[in-house]
Homo-oligomer: A and B are copies of this chain.
Amino acid sequence: MLHRVRSAVAHLVSSGGPPGSGSNELPTPASPDPIAHPEAPRSPPAGAESGTRASGDAVENRGSFSRPTFLQLSPRGLRRAEDHAGRVVQSPPDTGRRLPWRTGYAEVINAGKSRHNEDQACCEVVYVEGRQARMGGPGKSINDQGNQGLYFHYWGLFDGHAGGGAAEMASRLLHRHIREQLRGLVEILQDPSPPPICLPSSTEASVSLEPSCPGGSQPCWPLQNEVTHESLVVGAIENAFRFMDEHMARKQRNQYAVGGCCALVTVYLLGKMYVANAGDSRAIIVRNGDIIPMSREFTPETERQRLQLLGFLKPELLGNEFTHLEFPRRVQPKELGRRMLYRDQSMTGWAYKKIELQDLRFPLVCGEGKKARVMATIGVTRGLGDHNLKVSSSTLPVKPFLSCFPEVQVYDLTQYEHCPDDVLILGTDGLWDVSSDKDVAATVDKVLSSYEPNDPSRYTSLAQALVLGARGISREQGWRLPNNKMGSGDDISVFVIPLGGADSYT
């Protein structure tokens, strides 16, 4: 059966560059350069066959496209990856060095919805040098433990909209912002005692981690439980998203890049997986056949009350064009005085209200499911970028209603003995629009059980199977899935991260 599956999909799947090529270009620990320094190499833009590497900004300006470095695409492979008709599934080559942890990856371009594949991906091992080590000069240890730095593993999926610029920028830089946020925590995270509440300022002579912060006579409410090492990493990731978004704001002010992107990121650090999600991508763990959700989607439906509250508290953001109330459909002028179903920011249920003049404004949040929109414009409510996004035929900015903050869920890898079939799946909405969690878990079981546990290609094959399954079989069949559902015409990107690989494959 396995052989048949493999043969049947072979012509639909490309494994990146020519066999053996580029084996030295796979992700290596990122350099400790500040974020502003020259950026990580990408597969070259399609127009750059001469081999000169365009800078990120130049790429954005020319509106050309690139694919993740680890795909090791040749210029010809890049053109194939952007072929909307063939929709060949792309994966890293199955020769040479593999992605860390034997991570599987596959992607496919959309069926013509946008010119380029607006998804981007990044997989890196990142070294974080501590501030104290830096203060002491290269190689010089200052603290007693001699701790100098930390590595974290990083996987990121970025689902772009209104252009690929934001996703491309986030895939190059977000992990560097995370590194920057972690830099001040390197010594603290390696010290088993609780994090100090107060640190000396950088200008103070003392570099002690436990400065005296006298309580004085004022009331104190020391927190007993909450400030953990884990919560510091969560805070670092949250702030990294904010700085990444501000970084984009500076770029977008100069019109260098437009659009925005959802971001789904996993950081593995000191035994724990931190899954951070801002948007409508999704992460699940499939463990011993069970499904453990690791993210929630942020859409106009799921964030309705947050959006309505903001519109209610800051009506100026609605610009006399929108009402913060939700109605099941557009109110007609002739319905003034009648009673219609509505919900406000505090309600989960519905009630009737008498229609007044201001109710004729367009609702801030409208629609259901994939058709739900904020300000009739955008269907996701968290992510990076979108600083220039305006309501259609209006100057009203949408950005104030969007949040760049992820929700971070933590999974402690040390609490469970994982087998080789336990995986964390990250997928953009192209996967989840047509595949349920159960569908995905069934594919995990089917594909992994047909490979030896040590077969190095099993996770990439699984990623390919997931993408192929969501894409549907062929254009001639209307991308229809075996269960007669339509396939996704969207960009689809999937990481498969084996949880049993943490120790063996770092």
Contacts and interface: CB of A to CB of B under 8 A. Distances in A.
Contacts of A197: 328-329, 340-341
A310 B306 CA distance: 11
Interface string A119-138: 00000000000000000000
B330 A219 contact: yes
Interface in A297-318: 309-310, 313-314
Interface string A195-227: 101111101100000010111101111111111
Nearest to A409: B348
B403 A351 contact: no
A234 B348 contact: yes
Contacts of A227: 328, 341, 350
A238 interface: yes
A412 to B, nearest CB: 15
A350 B226 contact: yes
- How many copies of this kind of chain does the complex include? 2
A189 to B, nearest CB: 12
13 contacts: A199-B339, A200-B338, A201-B339, A213-B329, A219-B330, A221-B329, A221-B367, A222-B329, A231-B350, A238-B348, A242-B346, A310-B313, A349-B408
B184 A352 contact: yes
Q: Most chain-B CB neighbours within 10 Å: which of A216, A235, A371, A407?
A: A235
Nearest to A373: B221
Interface residues of A, number: 69
A501 to B, nearest CB: 26
Nearest to A332: B216
A253 interface: no
A309 B231 CA distance: 20
Contacts of A328: 197, 221-223, 226-227
Contacts of A222: 328-329
A310 to B, nearest CB: 7
A111 interface: no
A405 interface: yes
A201 B354 contact: yes
A230 B348 CA distance: 11
| Pairs A-B, 6 closest by C-beta atoms | A234-B349, A235-B349, A235-B351, A221-B367, A346-B405, A199-B339
Contacts of A402: none
Contacts of A376: 219
A342 to B, nearest CB: 9
A207 to B, nearest CB: 12
Interface of A: 181, 184, 195, 197-201, 203-204, 211, 213-216, 218-227, 230-239, 242, 309-310, 313-314, 328-330, 332, 334-335, 337-341, 343, 346-352, 354, 366-368, 371, 376, 403, 405, 407-408
B184 A346 contact: no
A338 B368 contact: no
A224 B376 CA distance: 18
A373 to B, nearest CB: 8
A312 to B, nearest CB: 10
Given A226-B368, A338-B201, A349 B195 contact: no
Contact of A350 (B211, B232, B343): B232
B232 A198 contact: no
B340 A235 contact: no
Contacts of A350: 195, 226-227, 231-232, 234-235
A237 B349 CA distance: 9
A348 to B, nearest CB: 6
A200 B337 CA distance: 8
Contacts of A201: 337-339, 354
Contacts of A223: 328-329, 368
Contact of A340 (B198, B203, B335): B198
Nearest to A239: B351
Contact of A225 (B200, B334, B368): B368
Contacts of A237: 349
A309 B306 CA distance: 10
A199 B366 contact: no
A411 B290 CA distance: 26
A201 B339 CA distance: 6
A368 B204 contact: no
